[in-house]
Amino acid sequence: MAQTTDPSRTLLRTCPLCEAVCGLEITLDPEDHVTSVRGDRQDPFSKGFICPKGASFGHLDEDPDRLTEPMIRDRATDTWRTASWTAAFDLISERFPAIVAEHGNQSAALYLGNPNAHTVAGALYAPILIRALGTKNFYSASTADQMPKQVASGLMFGDPLTVPVPDLDRTDYLLMLGANPLESNGSLCTAPDFPGRLKALRSRGGRFVVVDPRVTRTAKLADEHLFIRPGSDAYLLFGIVHTLFAQDLTDIRVGVAGLDDVRAAAADFTPEVVATRTGVPAETVVRLAQELAAAPTAAVYARIGTCTAEFGTLTQWLVEVINVLTGNLDSPGGAMFANAAAGGIARTKPFRTGRWASRVRELPEAMGELPVATLADEITTQGQGQVRAVVTVAGNPVLSAPSGVRLDAAFAQLDFLVSVDRYLNETTRHADVILPPPRPVQSPHYDFALLQFAVRNYARYSRPLVPLGERPSEAGVLARLAAALTGRPHDGSDGPDPLTAVDELVIAGTLHKAGLQQRRPELVGANSTEQRIDMMLRLGPYGEWNGGTLNLQALLDNPHGIDLGPLEPRLPGVLRTASGRVELAPQQLLDDVARLRGRLTDAAPDVVLIGRRQLRSNNSWMHNIATLVSGSNKCTLHINPADVARLGLGEHAIVKSAAGSLTVPLEPTDAIMPGVVSLPHGWGHTDSTQAVARDHAGVNANVLTDDSVVDVPSGNAVFNGVPVTLTPA
Ligand SMILES: Nc1nc2c(c(=O)[nH]1)N[C@H]1C(S)=C(S)[C@@H](COP(=O)(O)OP(=O)(O)OC[C@H]3O[C@@H](n4cnc5c(=O)[nH]c(N)nc54)[C@H](O)[C@@H]3O)O[C@H]1N2
Ligand SMILES: Nc1nc2c(c(=O)[nH]1)N[C@H]1C(S)=C(S)[C@@H](COP(=O)(O)OP(=O)(O)OC[C@H]3O[C@@H](n4cnc5c(=O)[nH]c(N)nc54)[C@H](O)[C@@H]3O)O[C@H]1N2
Ligand code: SF4
Ligand SMILES: [Mo]
């Protein structure tokens, strides 16, 4: 064989860009630039699957508009300069603790954005910022996303991370509401090649039904698609629950509490009653219940379209009620609980919400967080505890949270803002200091969060592919930031560097809890972060300290990842409820049913707004990649042609809601039901310093969403079912 002279090298890494955790095969040239990206065929979970975003990983990795050095803004002139890490942290040390000293702990707030669910830094080190700040003003993308799912799971199973996922590869029947995995690649259901898994379901003779106000790409793949009035999924599901009881179709196989209460709650939600509100005919509601009950195995799965809605938590609750009533919870082919190799539940006491409330609107805490829908209130409302200094990490709430215009103005009035972010964007432009993370190829990867929701048990660790050089890792940035925020030396001059100090503390504490501190075991790893990961794996359900073999070395020896088998029944072991059973009728949720019932006969608004995701976008931050923002990846308003004609609209329309108004280009399509319009979120880069994004600016959908409306039990933002009016532009 001829000797190769190509000095480039091919390395393996998990894709950090969505929840599908695909394995990537990345080729780097001698100067460490990514030259090609392919799917890793030897990854036992993703088997070579890759999407256009993953394929563009190289462009993202070295986007010329990304930040490479800390930035400091001069407030007087609103101009930016680059700064050394020391100068950036010095400024934070000087300003942040002084504000907190003067105005108290509650004057500081933290916002953690979505990519924290994908980074080692977010999983292991963002918690130290929460502790450092000691504030109740902790916010994240969770309350613009899945908090309803977590509250429902927390109340039913005792822990908010105990979230069932559809057993995609074995189910005979899948009812999917408000999800479009052919564009999103799946969410709270970690399943690389989601499209392939859905096709496999159908080719093995299974049935797949999609409920969505739009005929999505996913719906086109299904056996059946049903239109539904936005925000009305809880009624539909109640109609199914009602039918299961009325026709004696229940087959409960797990220990439950509250069965009679659920039956009573569902009593008046007859198929005929819910049909008027949902637009789903009564006979279809009955048939869905019968099909779910008759299928050998079945799973109901509902995602973002149903979470970010006014009755988000009730909807997520009813999904699991149906999974229980049809005998499918915790059973192969049904809705099951993953058993992640690291970072599983540690809770001993049952979950509850409302341990404290927000200052202005008195919205209850959930999982230690306050709703992002009230962040603007907390910044702009004067009084003791008013938020004056904010830290954002990997978030762009000005585009992603409701009432974007209000939040933009609120951020502008802050005394101090620190952002850890790769870009100068709509949110970070208000910062005093921006601290950039390294390139993705310079970061390690382990999916602590997403593997809790995987459709197969699996583990994979990726070492950084390219050394950091002089700059800190993102973990190092967060550790130093935590020190600076509290006025402690951020450079390690008081002892070990802040990152090592944090890890040492966590390792010692964890080993102590596990009763292993005496014979302090030798941990494997090139640094303290890796040692922590080694410890978590060893302590986990497959770990070598738990009768198994898994540890960091095993993952380093198997860089394509390790398959840990199909999902297995986990009840009652995972339950943390007081009763030790699945709580079918938590009181908090029964209380909220009154609100649902109260809305049953409300006059439907003429037109309501919903969102949508696009295959080649990622929330607000991948519009600067030229290869992604072309063709159909446009910020347009989908509208039924009948509505265009009825309202006398032209190419553009003025869309008004209670919160704001936008002028948008229309894209008439039969794929959306009449009376509903859809605008994707994450756009609106008009003043961006990111050149490509600015050329494809679009509009911020969250100008129209209204932060005064939330899902009551979870405080989650409501993005779907927003009443709007349309007039010609
Ligand atoms: N109208 C409407 N609004 C929505 C939604 C909707 O469906 N409709 N969806 C909601 C949902 S589900 C979510 S999750 C939120 C997302 O809301 P956010 O998390 O607030 O917003 P993102 O757009 O994901 O912004 C991610 C930020 O992280 C930065 N970033 C990317 N990678 C890294 C990294 O490795 N480290 C650091 N430090 N920064 C990084 C990016 O530059 C960007 O600024 O939006 C919500 N908003
Ligand atoms: N390409 C791409 N992938 C992504 C993201 C991205 O921005 N781009 N974002 C990631 C994030 S943060 C998340 S949370 C996930 C979300 O992943 P998914 O939950 O799959 O999100 P969407 O693709 O927005 O699909 C939501 C669907 O709900 C429908 N819908 C809207 N309102 C209602 C309603 O009231 N009832 C019902 N039944 N349906 C409704 C919409 O028409 C849409 O088709 O995707 C992740 N993956
Ligand atoms: S589906 Fe998600 S994880 Fe897979 S390549 Fe695409 S963006 Fe990456
Ligand atoms: Mo999300």
Answer whether residue 602 shows pLDDT above 90. no
Q: Tell me which residue range forms the domain holding 40.
A: 1-62
Spacing, Cα 17 to ligand 3 middle (Å): 6
What residue's CA is closest to ligand 3, atom 8? 54
Of 62, 77, 105, the one marking the end of a domain is: 62
Give me the CATH number covering residue 36.
Answer: 3.30.200.210
- For the chain, how many structural domains are there in total? 3
Contact call for residues 385 and 479 (beta carbons, < 8 A):
no
pLDDT in tens, 366-388: 999 999 999 999 999 999 999 99
* pLDDT score recorded for residue 441: 98
Ligand 2 atom closest to the CA of 216, numbered from 1: 44
Q: What is the CA radius of gyration of the chain?
A: 25
Spacing, Cα 41 to ligand 3 middle (Å): 14
- Do 174 and 318 lie in one domain? The reply is yes
Contact call for residues 210 and 224 (beta carbons, < 8 A):
yes
Ligand 1 atom closest to the CA of 420, numbered from 1: 38
| pLDDT, mean of residues 412-438 | 98
Neighbours of 9 (CB within 10 A): 12
Q: How far apart are CA 149 and CA 463, in angstroms?
A: 32
Q: pTM score, two decimals?
A: 0.98
Neighbours of 125 (CB within 10 A): 28
Of 42, 62, 82, the one marking the end of a domain is: 62
Q: How far apart are CA 406 and CA 706, in angstroms?
A: 10
Answer whether residue 2 shows pLDDT above 80. no
- Do 326 and 185 lie in one domain? The reply is yes
The one-letter amino acid at 561: G
C-beta of 34 in contact with ligand 3 (< 6 A): no
Q: How far apart are CA 279 and CA 228, in angstroms?
A: 6
Confidence bin at 632 (pLDDT 50/70/90): confident
Sign of the torsion angle spanned by Cα atoms 708, 713, 715, 716: negative
Q: Is residue 289 part of a domain?
A: yes
- Do 183 and 326 lie in one domain? The reply is yes
pLDDT in tens, 450-506: 999 999 999 999 999 999 999 999 999 999 999 999 999 998 888 889 999 999 999
* pLDDT score recorded for residue 347: 82
Spacing, Cα 621 to ligand 2 middle (Å): 16
Answer whether residue 3 shows pLDDT above 80. no
C-beta of 177 in contact with ligand 2 (< 6 A): yes
Give me the CATH number covering residue 286.
Answer: 3.40.228.10
C-beta of 618 in contact with ligand 2 (< 6 A): yes
Which of 19, 184, 396 is the best mutation target for the ligand 1 pocket, counting ligand atoms within 8 Å of the beta carbon and taking the most? Answer: 396
Contact call for residues 381 and 360 (beta carbons, < 8 A):
yes
Spacing, Cα 465 to ligand 4 middle (Å): 27
C-beta of 121 in contact with ligand 3 (< 6 A): no
Q: How many helices (H) and strands (E) does the chain have?
A: 25, 28
Sign of the torsion angle spanned by Cα atoms 395, 40, 526, 87: negative
What ligand is nearest to the CA atom of residue 395? 1
Tokens of 455: 């459709």
- Do 320 and 183 lie in one domain? The reply is yes
Give me the CATH number covering residue 612.
Answer: 2.40.40.20
Residues 348-379, buried b or exposed e (16+ Cβ, 10 A)?
Answer: eebbebeeebbbbbebbbbbebbbbbbbbbbb
- Do 37 and 181 lie in one domain? The reply is no
Ligand 2 atom closest to the CA of 680, numbered from 1: 24
* pLDDT score recorded for residue 521: 80
* Nearest Cα to Cα of residue 474 among 16, 23, 81: 16
Q: How far apart are CA 389 and CA 380, in angstroms?
A: 12
C-beta of 617 in contact with ligand 2 (< 6 A): yes
Q: Is residue 201 part of a domain?
A: yes
| pLDDT, mean of residues 382-400 | 98
Q: What percent of the chain has pLDDT over 70?
A: 99
What residue's CA is closest to ligand 2, atom 6? 618
Contact call for residues 578 and 41 (beta carbons, < 8 A):
no
Spacing, Cα 596 to ligand 2 middle (Å): 23
Ligand 1 atom closest to the CA of 392, numbered from 1: 38
* Nearest Cα to Cα of residue 475 among 520, 542, 525, 539: 525
Q: How far apart are CA 225 and CA 228, in angstroms?
A: 10
Q: What percent of the chain has pLDDT over 90?
A: 94
Residues near ligand 1 (Cβ within 6 A): 113-115, 119, 141, 144-145, 304, 308, 393-397, 400, 420-423, 425, 437, 474, 611, 619-621, 681-682, 701-702, 705, 719
Answer whether residue 1 shows pLDDT above 60. no
Provide DSSP, 431-468: -SEEE----GGGS-B--TTGGGGBSEEEE--B--SS--
- Do 180 and 320 lie in one domain? The reply is yes
What ligand is nearest to the CA atom of residue 662? 1
Contact call for residues 559 and 12 (beta carbons, < 8 A):
yes
Which of 185, 211, 613 is the best mutation target for the ligand 2 pocket, counting ligand atoms within 8 Å of the beta carbon and taking the most? Answer: 613
DSSP lists the bridge partners of residue 329 as: 335
Q: Is residue 56 part of a domain?
A: yes
Mean pLDDT score of the chain: 96
C-beta of 53 in contact with ligand 3 (< 6 A): yes
* pLDDT score recorded for residue 12: 98
| pLDDT, mean of residues 508-515 | 92
Spacing, Cα 417 to ligand 1 middle (Å): 18
* pLDDT score recorded for residue 116: 98
* Nearest Cα to Cα of residue 483 among 96, 184, 147: 96
Confidence bin at 520 (pLDDT 50/70/90): confident
Q: Is residue 596 part of a domain?
A: no
What residue's CA is closest to ligand 1, atom 2? 681
* pLDDT score recorded for residue 344: 80
Of 28, 46, 62, the one marking the end of a domain is: 62
Ligand 1 atom closest to the CA of 428, numbered from 1: 44
Q: Is residue 575 part of a domain?
A: no
Distance between alpha carbon 264 and the CA centroid of its chain, in Å?
A: 33
* pLDDT score recorded for residue 72: 98
Instruction: Show Cβ contacts of residue 512 under 8 Å, excluding neighbours closer than 6 positions.
Output: none
Q: How far apart are CA 152 and CA 141, in angstroms?
A: 17
C-beta of 184 in contact with ligand 2 (< 6 A): yes
222: number of CA atoms within 13 Å, CB side? 23
Neighbours of 293 (CB within 10 A): 22
Does the bond joining 572 to the residue before it have cis omega, within 30 degrees of 0? yes
| pLDDT, mean of residues 337-365 | 94
Q: Is residue 548 part of a domain?
A: no
pLDDT in tens, 132-184: 999 999 999 999 999 999 999 999 999 999 999 999 999 999 999 999 999 99
Answer whether residue 297 shows pLDDT above 60. yes
From the number of C-beta atoms within 10 Å of its C-beta (0-12, 13-18, 19+), residue 30 rates as exposed
* pLDDT score recorded for residue 4: 59
| pLDDT, mean of residues 580-596 | 97
C-beta of 40 in contact with ligand 2 (< 6 A): no
Answer whether residue 394 shows pLDDT above 50. yes
Q: Which residue has the tokens 């039924």?
A: 640
- Do 177 and 315 lie in one domain? The reply is yes
Q: Is residue 554 part of a domain?
A: no
The one-letter amino acid at 507: I
Spacing, Cα 46 to ligand 2 middle (Å): 21
